[in-house]
Structure 1
Amino acid sequence: MVRHVALFRWKPETSEEDVSRLEAALRRLPQKIPCIGAYRFGRDLGVQDGNADFGLVADFN
């Protein structure tokens, strides 16, 4: 098993629509890559300054 972790920081010009399109594309990814076992992603909750804006964790079998 391989675990892939990716953290993203958006450029100031990144729009809500851009992020929503990314989320829609990421929802489809497990259908295209069958070796993805577990898969989670989401936006930062804004609890603490300095965190990444978005995170993704994928486990590959």
Structure 2
Amino acid sequence: MSNPRDVIYAAIQSAFVKYPREDDPSWSDHWIQPEESAHLTKAVMLELEANGFEIVRKSG
């Protein structure tokens, strides 16, 4: 993955799949929908940018 948004999105999806809600009778493998992950990803990116952070790829 070369796009920081893709990395953040994958991390969000992975966290919610690996750590589901406890004691939820209607639990499913993906209790956060892809569009919700996309929204969270956008919010994280905007907050980082607004606070002067920049995501860069390490060389080598």
TM-score class normalised by the smaller sequence: 0.3 to 0.5
Select the structure that is richer in helix: 2
Select the structure that is richer in strand: 1
Q: Normalising by structure 1, what TM-score? A: 0.37
Q: Normalising by structure 2, what TM-score? A: 0.37
Structure of greater relative contact order (alpha carbons < 8 Å, 6+ residues apart): 1
Greater C-alpha Rg: 2
